[in-house]
Structure 1
Protein backbone atom coordinates (compact mmCIF):
# COMPACT_ATOMS: atom_id res chain seq x y z
CA UNK A 1 0.00 0.00 0.00
CA UNK A 2 1.16 3.52 -0.81
CA UNK A 3 1.37 6.08 2.03
CA UNK A 4 0.10 9.52 1.02
CA UNK A 5 0.36 12.70 3.07
CA UNK A 6 -2.61 15.10 3.11
CA UNK A 7 -3.42 18.31 5.02
CA UNK A 8 -5.65 16.17 7.27
CA UNK A 9 -3.08 13.49 7.99
CA UNK A 10 -1.60 10.51 6.16
CA UNK A 11 -3.34 7.71 4.32
CA UNK A 12 -2.33 4.16 5.22
CA UNK A 13 -5.15 2.11 3.70
CA UNK A 14 -6.34 -0.97 5.53
CA UNK A 15 -6.09 -4.26 3.64
CA UNK A 16 -9.14 -4.69 1.43
CA UNK A 17 -10.10 -7.95 3.15
CA UNK A 18 -10.31 -6.21 6.55
CA UNK A 19 -12.60 -3.47 5.22
CA UNK A 20 -14.78 -6.04 3.47
CA UNK A 21 -15.12 -8.01 6.70
CA UNK A 22 -16.27 -4.85 8.50
CA UNK A 23 -19.13 -4.37 6.02
CA UNK A 24 -20.15 -8.01 5.67
CA UNK A 25 -22.81 -7.70 8.37
CA UNK A 26 -24.38 -4.52 6.98
CA UNK A 27 -28.13 -4.93 6.36
CA UNK A 28 -28.05 -2.63 3.32
CA UNK A 29 -26.46 -2.72 -0.14
CA UNK A 30 -22.74 -1.98 -0.26
CA UNK A 31 -19.95 -2.65 -2.70
CA UNK A 32 -16.24 -2.22 -3.32
CA UNK A 33 -15.64 0.72 -5.66
CA UNK A 34 -12.68 2.71 -6.97
CA UNK A 35 -9.57 1.10 -8.36
CA UNK A 36 -10.05 -2.14 -6.46
CA UNK A 37 -13.40 -2.69 -8.20
CA UNK A 38 -11.65 -2.50 -11.56
CA UNK A 39 -8.85 -4.78 -10.38
CA UNK A 40 -11.40 -7.36 -9.20
CA UNK A 41 -13.01 -7.24 -12.65
CA UNK A 42 -9.63 -7.80 -14.30
CA UNK A 43 -8.93 -10.69 -11.95
CA UNK A 44 -5.32 -9.86 -11.03
CA UNK A 45 -3.36 -7.06 -9.34
CA UNK A 46 -1.65 -4.68 -11.76
CA UNK A 47 -0.98 -1.47 -9.77
CA UNK A 48 -0.70 -0.14 -6.23
CA UNK A 49 -3.70 1.46 -4.52
CA UNK A 50 -3.51 4.60 -2.41
CA UNK A 51 -6.90 4.00 -0.77
CA UNK A 52 -9.78 1.57 -0.33
CA UNK A 53 -13.22 2.70 -1.49
CA UNK A 54 -16.58 1.36 -0.30
CA UNK A 55 -19.85 2.73 -1.65
CA UNK A 56 -23.34 2.67 -0.16
CA UNK A 57 -26.62 4.34 -1.03
CA UNK A 58 -27.29 7.75 0.47
CA UNK A 59 -30.59 6.46 1.84
CA UNK A 60 -28.62 4.04 4.06
CA UNK A 61 -25.85 6.36 5.21
CA UNK A 62 -27.12 6.77 8.79
CA UNK A 63 -27.29 2.99 9.16
CA UNK A 64 -23.72 2.79 7.91
CA UNK A 65 -22.58 5.46 10.38
CA UNK A 66 -24.00 3.40 13.24
CA UNK A 67 -22.13 0.37 11.91
CA UNK A 68 -18.99 2.51 12.15
CA UNK A 69 -19.57 3.51 15.78
CA UNK A 70 -16.12 3.57 17.31
CA UNK A 71 -14.53 4.70 14.06
CA UNK A 72 -13.53 8.32 13.42
CA UNK A 73 -15.49 9.50 10.36
CA UNK A 74 -14.97 12.87 8.64
CA UNK A 75 -17.16 14.21 5.85
CA UNK A 76 -16.02 16.40 2.97
CA UNK A 77 -18.48 19.15 3.89
CA UNK A 78 -18.10 21.38 1.99
CA UNK A 79 -16.02 19.60 -0.69
CA UNK A 80 -12.35 20.38 -0.33
CA UNK A 81 -12.54 20.39 3.47
CA UNK A 82 -13.13 17.79 6.18
CA UNK A 83 -15.17 17.97 9.37
CA UNK A 84 -16.17 15.30 11.92
CA UNK A 85 -19.31 13.28 11.18
CA UNK A 86 -20.86 12.12 14.47
CA UNK A 87 -23.16 9.15 14.83
CA UNK A 88 -26.85 9.87 14.06
CA UNK A 89 -26.19 13.07 12.10
CA UNK A 90 -27.78 12.98 8.62
CA UNK A 91 -25.50 14.41 5.97
CA UNK A 92 -26.88 17.06 3.57
CA UNK A 93 -27.39 15.93 -0.06
CA UNK A 94 -24.31 17.57 -1.59
CA UNK A 95 -21.99 15.60 0.72
CA UNK A 96 -20.96 12.21 -0.62
CA UNK A 97 -17.32 11.66 0.42
CA UNK A 98 -16.28 10.41 3.89
CA UNK A 99 -12.82 9.54 5.21
CA UNK A 100 -12.59 6.89 7.94
CA UNK A 101 -9.90 5.98 10.47
CA UNK A 102 -9.65 4.17 13.81
CA UNK A 103 -11.31 5.90 16.72
CA UNK A 104 -8.01 6.79 18.36
CA UNK A 105 -6.92 8.82 15.36
CA UNK A 106 -3.92 7.88 13.26
CA UNK A 107 -3.86 7.42 9.48
CA UNK A 108 -6.93 7.26 7.28
CA UNK A 109 -7.91 3.65 6.54
CA UNK A 110 -10.68 3.73 3.93
CA UNK A 111 -13.03 6.02 2.06
CA UNK A 112 -16.83 5.81 2.07
CA UNK A 113 -18.79 7.16 -0.88
CA UNK A 114 -22.54 7.79 -1.07
CA UNK A 115 -24.40 6.93 -4.27
CA UNK A 116 -27.83 8.22 -5.23
CA UNK A 117 -30.94 6.17 -5.89
CA UNK A 118 -34.60 6.59 -6.74
CA UNK A 119 -36.70 3.65 -5.62
CA UNK A 120 -35.18 0.56 -7.20
CA UNK A 121 -32.94 2.56 -9.56
CA UNK A 122 -29.36 3.72 -9.17
CA UNK A 123 -28.92 7.35 -10.26
CA UNK A 124 -25.60 8.83 -11.36
CA UNK A 125 -24.95 11.68 -8.95
CA UNK A 126 -23.29 13.89 -11.57
CA UNK A 127 -26.07 13.58 -14.17
CA UNK A 128 -29.50 12.24 -13.21
CA UNK A 129 -30.26 11.44 -16.85
CA UNK A 130 -28.04 8.40 -16.36
CA UNK A 131 -29.68 5.70 -14.29
CA UNK A 132 -30.28 1.94 -14.29
CA UNK A 133 -31.78 -0.78 -12.08
CA UNK A 134 -30.00 -1.08 -8.75
CA UNK A 135 -29.72 -4.83 -9.15
CA UNK A 136 -27.58 -4.33 -12.26
CA UNK A 137 -25.04 -2.06 -10.56
CA UNK A 138 -23.10 -4.59 -8.54
CA UNK A 139 -21.29 -7.79 -9.35
CA UNK A 140 -21.64 -10.43 -6.67
CA UNK A 141 -18.81 -12.83 -7.39
CA UNK A 142 -19.07 -16.11 -5.51
CA UNK A 143 -15.44 -15.97 -4.38
CA UNK A 144 -15.14 -12.26 -3.69
CA UNK A 145 -16.85 -9.20 -2.24
CA UNK A 146 -19.64 -7.32 -4.03
CA UNK A 147 -18.17 -4.73 -6.36
CA UNK A 148 -19.56 -1.99 -8.54
CA UNK A 149 -19.99 -2.88 -12.20
CA UNK A 150 -16.79 -1.82 -14.00
CA UNK A 151 -18.58 0.30 -16.60
CA UNK A 152 -20.11 2.44 -13.81
CA UNK A 153 -16.77 2.88 -12.08
CA UNK A 154 -15.21 3.89 -15.40
CA UNK A 155 -17.91 6.51 -15.85
CA UNK A 156 -16.86 8.11 -12.55
CA UNK A 157 -13.22 7.95 -13.61
CA UNK A 158 -13.87 9.47 -17.04
CA UNK A 159 -14.51 13.07 -16.02
CA UNK A 160 -10.86 14.00 -15.56
CA UNK A 161 -8.80 10.84 -16.02
CA UNK A 162 -5.55 10.61 -14.10
CA UNK A 163 -2.76 8.25 -15.22
CA UNK A 164 -4.09 5.53 -12.89
CA UNK A 165 -7.58 5.92 -14.40
CA UNK A 166 -6.16 5.49 -17.90
CA UNK A 167 -4.38 2.38 -16.67
CA UNK A 168 -7.61 1.03 -15.18
CA UNK A 169 -9.49 1.65 -18.43
CA UNK A 170 -6.81 -0.06 -20.52
CA UNK A 171 -6.59 -3.09 -18.21
CA UNK A 172 -10.32 -3.72 -17.91
CA UNK A 173 -11.33 -2.92 -21.49
CA UNK A 174 -10.72 -6.47 -22.82
CA UNK A 175 -12.91 -7.83 -20.02
CA UNK A 176 -15.98 -5.69 -20.81
CA UNK A 177 -18.90 -7.34 -22.55
CA UNK A 178 -20.52 -5.76 -25.57
CA UNK A 179 -23.44 -4.66 -23.37
CA UNK A 180 -21.08 -3.01 -20.87
CA UNK A 181 -19.24 -1.19 -23.67
CA UNK A 182 -22.49 0.04 -25.18
CA UNK A 183 -23.77 1.28 -21.83
CA UNK A 184 -20.57 3.16 -21.04
CA UNK A 185 -20.40 4.65 -24.53
CA UNK A 186 -23.97 5.92 -24.17
CA UNK A 187 -23.34 7.29 -20.67
CA UNK A 188 -20.19 9.10 -21.82
CA UNK A 189 -22.14 10.58 -24.73
CA UNK A 190 -24.86 11.80 -22.36
CA UNK A 191 -22.49 13.39 -19.85
CA UNK A 192 -19.60 14.53 -22.03
CA UNK A 193 -20.66 14.40 -25.67
CA UNK A 194 -17.24 13.55 -27.03
CA UNK A 195 -14.71 11.62 -24.97
CA UNK A 196 -11.47 9.88 -26.02
CA UNK A 197 -12.57 6.59 -24.47
CA UNK A 198 -15.60 6.32 -26.72
CA UNK A 199 -13.65 5.34 -29.83
CA UNK A 200 -11.83 2.62 -27.89
CA UNK A 201 -15.11 1.16 -26.65
CA UNK A 202 -16.34 0.45 -30.16
CA UNK A 203 -15.46 -2.85 -31.83
Structure 2
Protein backbone atom coordinates (compact mmCIF):
# COMPACT_ATOMS: atom_id res chain seq x y z
CA UNK A 1 0.00 0.00 0.00
CA UNK A 2 1.14 3.53 -0.72
CA UNK A 3 2.33 5.65 2.24
CA UNK A 4 0.92 8.84 0.69
CA UNK A 5 -2.74 9.33 1.55
CA UNK A 6 -5.05 10.32 -1.30
CA UNK A 7 -7.20 13.43 -1.24
CA UNK A 8 -10.90 13.37 -0.47
CA UNK A 9 -10.68 11.57 2.86
CA UNK A 10 -12.28 12.80 6.06
CA UNK A 11 -9.66 13.35 8.76
CA UNK A 12 -10.93 12.30 12.17
CA UNK A 13 -10.04 13.87 15.50
CA UNK A 14 -9.23 11.55 18.44
CA UNK A 15 -12.72 12.20 19.79
CA UNK A 16 -14.33 11.32 16.48
CA UNK A 17 -12.30 8.11 16.28
CA UNK A 18 -13.49 7.17 19.76
CA UNK A 19 -17.09 7.96 18.80
CA UNK A 20 -16.86 5.53 15.89
CA UNK A 21 -17.08 2.64 18.36
CA UNK A 22 -20.79 3.33 18.82
CA UNK A 23 -21.34 2.92 15.07
CA UNK A 24 -20.21 -0.73 15.33
CA UNK A 25 -22.89 -1.65 17.86
CA UNK A 26 -24.91 -3.63 15.32
CA UNK A 27 -22.01 -5.45 13.61
CA UNK A 28 -22.64 -8.98 12.39
CA UNK A 29 -21.56 -12.29 13.90
CA UNK A 30 -19.22 -14.70 12.07
CA UNK A 31 -22.15 -16.95 11.20
CA UNK A 32 -24.10 -14.06 9.71
CA UNK A 33 -21.08 -13.10 7.60
CA UNK A 34 -20.64 -16.72 6.48
CA UNK A 35 -24.29 -16.86 5.45
CA UNK A 36 -23.92 -13.74 3.34
CA UNK A 37 -20.62 -14.92 1.80
CA UNK A 38 -21.84 -18.44 1.02
CA UNK A 39 -20.77 -19.65 -2.42
CA UNK A 40 -18.44 -16.77 -3.20
CA UNK A 41 -15.59 -17.90 -5.44
CA UNK A 42 -12.66 -16.53 -3.45
CA UNK A 43 -10.81 -17.53 -0.30
CA UNK A 44 -11.86 -15.57 2.76
CA UNK A 45 -11.68 -15.98 6.50
CA UNK A 46 -12.73 -14.45 9.79
CA UNK A 47 -9.71 -12.65 11.29
CA UNK A 48 -8.52 -11.18 14.61
CA UNK A 49 -10.24 -11.94 17.91
CA UNK A 50 -13.27 -13.64 16.42
CA UNK A 51 -10.96 -16.08 14.60
CA UNK A 52 -9.50 -17.15 17.92
CA UNK A 53 -12.97 -17.67 19.38
CA UNK A 54 -13.87 -19.86 16.40
CA UNK A 55 -10.66 -21.86 16.88
CA UNK A 56 -11.38 -22.42 20.58
CA UNK A 57 -15.05 -23.19 19.98
CA UNK A 58 -16.49 -20.49 22.23
CA UNK A 59 -16.58 -16.73 22.68
CA UNK A 60 -14.14 -15.62 25.38
CA UNK A 61 -14.87 -11.88 25.40
CA UNK A 62 -17.00 -9.18 23.83
CA UNK A 63 -15.96 -7.89 20.41
CA UNK A 64 -16.38 -4.31 19.27
CA UNK A 65 -16.33 -5.23 15.58
CA UNK A 66 -15.77 -8.13 13.21
CA UNK A 67 -13.01 -8.45 10.62
CA UNK A 68 -12.66 -10.74 7.65
CA UNK A 69 -9.86 -10.88 5.09
CA UNK A 70 -9.88 -11.53 1.35
CA UNK A 71 -7.25 -11.42 -1.41
CA UNK A 72 -7.06 -7.80 -2.54
CA UNK A 73 -7.82 -8.69 -6.16
CA UNK A 74 -11.06 -10.38 -5.07
CA UNK A 75 -12.51 -7.35 -3.31
CA UNK A 76 -14.77 -6.37 -6.26
CA UNK A 77 -16.53 -9.75 -5.92
CA UNK A 78 -17.06 -9.10 -2.22
CA UNK A 79 -18.29 -5.59 -2.90
CA UNK A 80 -20.91 -6.96 -5.31
CA UNK A 81 -22.22 -9.22 -2.55
CA UNK A 82 -23.56 -6.22 -0.62
CA UNK A 83 -25.30 -3.93 -3.13
CA UNK A 84 -27.58 -2.42 -0.48
CA UNK A 85 -24.60 -1.25 1.60
CA UNK A 86 -21.59 1.04 1.10
CA UNK A 87 -17.91 0.31 1.66
CA UNK A 88 -15.81 3.08 3.21
CA UNK A 89 -12.01 2.85 3.11
CA UNK A 90 -10.37 3.53 6.48
CA UNK A 91 -6.84 4.03 7.75
CA UNK A 92 -4.35 6.48 9.26
CA UNK A 93 -7.11 8.43 11.00
CA UNK A 94 -9.06 9.01 7.77
CA UNK A 95 -12.22 7.66 6.15
CA UNK A 96 -12.97 7.74 2.43
CA UNK A 97 -16.67 7.24 1.90
CA UNK A 98 -17.75 4.85 -0.85
CA UNK A 99 -14.11 3.68 -1.15
CA UNK A 100 -12.70 5.31 -4.33
CA UNK A 101 -9.91 3.39 -6.14
CA UNK A 102 -7.16 5.72 -4.89
CA UNK A 103 -8.18 5.07 -1.27
CA UNK A 104 -8.28 1.32 -1.86
CA UNK A 105 -4.68 1.58 -3.07
CA UNK A 106 -3.59 3.47 0.06
CA UNK A 107 -5.15 1.53 2.95
CA UNK A 108 -6.13 -2.10 3.48
CA UNK A 109 -9.29 -1.74 5.57
CA UNK A 110 -12.80 -1.34 4.14
CA UNK A 111 -15.76 -0.86 6.44
CA UNK A 112 -19.22 -1.98 5.32
CA UNK A 113 -21.73 0.76 6.22
CA UNK A 114 -25.51 0.65 6.32
CA UNK A 115 -26.49 3.93 4.60
CA UNK A 116 -29.88 3.90 6.32
CA UNK A 117 -28.41 4.01 9.84
CA UNK A 118 -24.78 5.01 9.36
CA UNK A 119 -23.72 1.94 11.36
CA UNK A 120 -20.78 -0.26 10.40
CA UNK A 121 -21.39 -3.99 10.07
CA UNK A 122 -18.17 -5.58 8.81
CA UNK A 123 -14.48 -4.73 8.35
CA UNK A 124 -12.93 -6.30 5.24
CA UNK A 125 -9.14 -6.51 5.07
CA UNK A 126 -7.82 -6.58 1.50
CA UNK A 127 -4.67 -8.69 1.80
CA UNK A 128 -1.62 -8.92 -0.46
CA UNK A 129 -1.33 -12.21 -2.29
CA UNK A 130 0.18 -13.93 -5.29
CA UNK A 131 -2.62 -15.92 -6.85
CA UNK A 132 -3.61 -18.54 -4.28
CA UNK A 133 -0.66 -17.68 -2.04
CA UNK A 134 -1.29 -15.44 0.97
CA UNK A 135 1.36 -12.79 1.73
CA UNK A 136 1.79 -11.49 5.26
CA UNK A 137 1.39 -7.70 5.56
CA UNK A 138 3.95 -7.59 8.38
CA UNK A 139 6.66 -9.44 6.43
CA UNK A 140 6.23 -10.09 2.71
CA UNK A 141 8.72 -12.97 2.87
CA UNK A 142 6.11 -14.95 4.81
CA UNK A 143 4.01 -16.60 2.10
CA UNK A 144 1.65 -19.51 2.57
CA UNK A 145 -1.02 -21.21 0.47
CA UNK A 146 -4.53 -20.16 1.44
CA UNK A 147 -5.42 -23.83 1.90
CA UNK A 148 -2.91 -23.98 4.78
CA UNK A 149 -3.97 -20.84 6.65
CA UNK A 150 -7.76 -21.05 6.40
CA UNK A 151 -9.35 -23.38 8.95
CA UNK A 152 -13.06 -24.11 9.33
CA UNK A 153 -15.45 -24.67 12.20
CA UNK A 154 -17.57 -27.80 12.20
CA UNK A 155 -20.38 -25.86 10.57
CA UNK A 156 -18.11 -24.42 7.90
CA UNK A 157 -17.18 -20.91 9.04
CA UNK A 158 -13.65 -20.12 7.74
CA UNK A 159 -11.16 -18.51 10.11
CA UNK A 160 -7.47 -17.61 10.14
CA UNK A 161 -5.08 -20.11 11.70
CA UNK A 162 -4.52 -19.11 15.36
CA UNK A 163 -0.76 -18.78 15.04
CA UNK A 164 -1.25 -16.13 12.35
CA UNK A 165 -4.09 -14.36 14.16
CA UNK A 166 -1.85 -14.06 17.22
CA UNK A 167 1.07 -12.85 15.10
CA UNK A 168 -1.03 -9.86 14.03
CA UNK A 169 -2.12 -9.24 17.62
CA UNK A 170 1.45 -9.28 18.91
CA UNK A 171 2.37 -5.84 17.58
CA UNK A 172 0.34 -3.65 19.94
CA UNK A 173 -0.06 -5.94 22.99
CA UNK A 174 -3.26 -4.32 24.16
CA UNK A 175 -5.09 -5.85 27.09
CA UNK A 176 -7.44 -7.74 24.79
CA UNK A 177 -4.49 -9.10 22.78
CA UNK A 178 -2.84 -10.47 25.91
CA UNK A 179 -6.15 -11.96 27.00
CA UNK A 180 -6.58 -13.61 23.59
CA UNK A 181 -3.06 -15.05 23.78
CA UNK A 182 -3.59 -16.49 27.24
CA UNK A 183 -6.96 -17.98 26.31
CA UNK A 184 -5.74 -19.50 23.04
CA UNK A 185 -2.28 -20.96 23.65
CA UNK A 186 -3.53 -23.85 25.85
CA UNK A 187 -5.66 -25.02 22.92
CA UNK A 188 -2.83 -24.94 20.37
CA UNK A 189 -0.96 -28.07 19.33
CA UNK A 190 2.84 -28.10 19.84
CA UNK A 191 3.54 -27.53 16.10
CA UNK A 192 1.27 -24.46 16.15
CA UNK A 193 3.10 -23.06 19.17
CA UNK A 194 6.43 -23.68 17.47
CA UNK A 195 5.23 -21.94 14.33
CA UNK A 196 4.03 -18.92 16.32
CA UNK A 197 7.32 -18.73 18.21
CA UNK A 198 9.24 -18.79 14.93
CA UNK A 199 7.06 -16.11 13.38
CA UNK A 200 7.38 -13.87 16.43
CA UNK A 201 11.15 -14.32 16.42
CA UNK A 202 11.22 -13.22 12.80
CA UNK A 203 8.72 -10.35 12.91
CA UNK A 204 8.96 -9.17 16.54
CA UNK A 205 12.36 -10.29 17.93
CA UNK A 206 12.41 -10.38 21.72
CA UNK A 207 8.62 -10.39 22.04
CA UNK A 208 7.53 -11.49 25.55
CA UNK A 209 5.22 -14.17 24.17
CA UNK A 210 8.16 -16.14 22.77
CA UNK A 211 9.30 -17.23 26.22
CA UNK A 212 5.77 -18.45 27.03
CA UNK A 213 5.61 -20.72 24.00
Same fold by TM (over 0.5)?
yes
| Structure 2: gaps (5+ residues) | 1-16
Residues 200 and 207 in structure 2, CA contact (< 8 A), matched pair in contact too: yes
Cα drift, residue 90 of structure 1:
7.3
* C-alpha distance in structure 2 between counterparts of 1:22 and 1:113, whole Å: 17
Q: How does 1:133-152 map to 2 (within 5 A)?
A: 133-152=145-164
Query: Counterpart of 1:185 in 2: which secondary structure?
Result: helix
**Corresponding pairs, count:** 196
Q: 2:10 aligns to what? A: none
Matches of 1:9 and 1:40 in 2, distance apart? 24
Q: Deviations over 1:82-135 (max 9, x none)?
A: 112358x47544421111122324211121111211233211012112222221
**Which structure dedicates a bigger proportion of its chain to helix?**
2
- For residues 104-123 of structure 1, what are the structure 2 equivalents within 5 Å? 104-123=116-135
Given the alignment, which residue of 165, 169, 175 partners 1:153? 165
- How far 1:48 moved relative to its partner? 0.7
When normalised by structure 2's length, the TM-score is 0.84
Q: Deviations over 1:5-58 (max 9, x none)?
A: 535962112233222211113211111111111011111222111111111111
Residue 35 of structure 1 is matched in structure 2 by 49
- For 2:39 and 2:102, the matched residues in 1 are separated by 21
Q: Residues 92, 49 of structure 1: CA spacing in aligned structure 2 closer, same or farther, 3 A cutoff?
A: closer
In structure 1, runs of 5+ residues without a counterpart are none
Say whether 1:98 aligns with 2:110: yes
Compared with structure 1, are the counterparts of its residues 121 and 20 closer, same or farther at alpha carbon in structure 2 (3 Å cutoff)?
Answer: same
